[in-house]
Each structure stands twice: as structure tokens, then as C-alpha cells.
């Protein structure tokens, strides 16, 4: 029997793995089960955090120094936690979030060479006791990822990275998931109804929903 409590589910993966698509599917499925659920994303999620997201994804933002980009991400996260996540925690809501701290590690530390110690100190200070109850990592064939990204109408700087960058970042997501508890990995090369069912089954089990 599901007991109402704050349950934080994060979806991780590189561009083109279908995170947003599967989050929307899961959101609708949980709604049908009368579960109190909300969606969010990073960077973004709250009014102030979305403003920082717009700055990060601005067409001129590719001129930012990598460290500037990193701290803008963390600033958005701080606003997200303070203005949204903490409030949802009190309301005992199930929260589905598109990206969280693992993306910072994989993209900024592994991908862009930000010092891991700097990342850990800053992230630990910002997130406090907020930790995902479940992290769903989506992986996909790199050729499929490339095709999906090219089909997008509004591309940003993260959609135009080289294939070897995506490959190293995706491998890091998989490595993290294999080393930690409360992680599951799904291949989303075929982003279909079967994957939707598998994710729902996993979430229902974690929420103890029959």
C-alpha cells in the first residue's frame, strides 16, 4: 500500500535518450493511479531557476568560461531546491525531475574538466539532505541519439556536442548507476511503450503500489 510521502525520482542521460518523453509518460500514468505527482527539471524548475536556465542556454552562452557555466548550473539548482523541492517535500509529493547532480558530475566534471572536489563541496552545501530515492538512467545507441537531436526544432549548445563527448558522458552515467544503490538503467534506443511499462513497473514497486 502506497503511503503518501515525498519521493524524488530523477531521470538522467545524455541528449536524445528520451528523458522528457518518458517523464511525461510516467507522470500521466501516476496521475491515473491518483498519485500526487509533479514534474520539474534542471537547470530550471522554479521561476528564478528558469531565468538562469535561459541564460545558460542563450545562443551567446557558448562563449562562457566552463567554470562560469558550472556555477550558473549550481545557482539554478540552489533556487530550485529552495523554491520548489523543499516545498514539495513538505507536501509529500512524488517529484519527477529531468536531471540533477549526476548531470553536473558527468557533463561539467567528466566532460568539461571541472575539479571534482570543487563540485562535491559546492553540491553538498547546496543540496543538504535532498537525495533522489530513485535514479533512472536512460542510455541509447549514439547514432540514434544523433538522429533524434538533429530532428529537434530548437537546438541548444548541449545538442551540438561531438559524438565522443556524448560517449564519455553516457559511459560515466552508466558507471555511476552500476556503483550506487537506487539506480536502474534502461536502454531507450527503442523509446516505446515497452520501456514505458518497464519504468512504471519499477516505480510502482518502489512506491509499493500494487
> What confidence score (pLDDT) does residue 93 get?
95
Long-range contact list for 107-115, CB < 8 A, 24+ apart? 107/158, 107/169, 108/66, 108/69, 108/70, 108/73, 110/168, 110/169, 110/172, 111/161, 111/165, 111/168, 111/169, 112/66, 112/69, 112/70, 113/66, 114/66, 114/67, 114/70
Helices 66-80/116-127 angle, 10° precision: 20
**Bridging pattern class, strands 7-12 and 183-187:** unpaired
Instruction: Report CA Rg, the chain.
Output: 17
pLDDT in tens, 118-137: 999 999 999 999 999 999 99
How many whole angstroms from its chain centre is CA 109?
Answer: 16
Residue ranges for the chain with pLDDT beneath 50: none
CATH fold group of domain 7-207: Rossmann fold (3.40.50)
Write the CA distances from 117 to 13, 48, 114, 127, 165, integer angstroms.
Answer: 22, 27, 9, 15, 22
Domain boundaries, the chain: 7-207
Residue pair 95/38 in contact by the 8 Å Cβ criterion:
yes
- What pLDDT is recorded for position 157? 63
pLDDT for 8? 98
Amino acid at each position: 500500500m502506497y503511503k503518501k510521502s515525498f519521493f524524488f525520482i530523477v531521470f538522467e542521460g545524455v541528449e536524445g535518450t528520451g528523458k522528457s518523453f518518458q517523464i511525461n509518460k510516467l507522470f500521466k500514468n501516476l496521475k491515473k493511479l491518483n498519485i500526487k505527482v509533479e514534474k520539474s527539471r534542471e537547470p530550471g524548475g522554479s521561476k528564478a531557476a528558469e531565468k538562469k536556465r535561459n541564460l545558460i542556454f542563450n545562443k551567446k552562452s557558448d562563449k562562457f568560461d566552463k567554470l562560469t557555466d558550472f556555477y550558473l548550473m549550481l545557482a539554478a539548482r540552489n533556487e530550485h531546491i529552495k523554491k520548489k523541492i523543499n516545498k514539495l517535500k513538505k507536501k509529500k509529493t512524488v517529484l519527477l525531475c529531468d536531471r540533477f547532480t549526476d548531470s553536473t558530475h558527468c557533463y561539467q566534471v567528466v566532460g568539461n574538466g571541472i575539479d571534482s572536489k570543487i563540485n562535491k563541496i559546492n553540491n553538498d552545501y547546496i543540496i543538504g539532505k535532498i537525495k533522489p530515492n530513485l535514479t533512472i538512467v536512460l542510455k541509447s545507441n549514439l547514432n540514434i541519439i544523433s538522429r533524434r537531436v538533429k530532428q529537434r526544432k530548437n537546438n541548444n549548445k548541449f545538442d551540438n556536442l561531438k559524438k565522443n563527448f556524448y560517449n564519455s558522458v553516457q559511459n560515466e552515467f552508466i558507471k555511476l548507476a552500476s556503483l550506487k544503490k537506487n539506480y536502474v538503467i534502461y536502454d531507450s534506443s527503442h523509446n516505446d511503450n515497452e520501456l514505458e511499462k518497464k519504468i512504471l513497473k519499477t516505480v510502482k514497486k518502489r512506491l509499493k503500489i500494487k
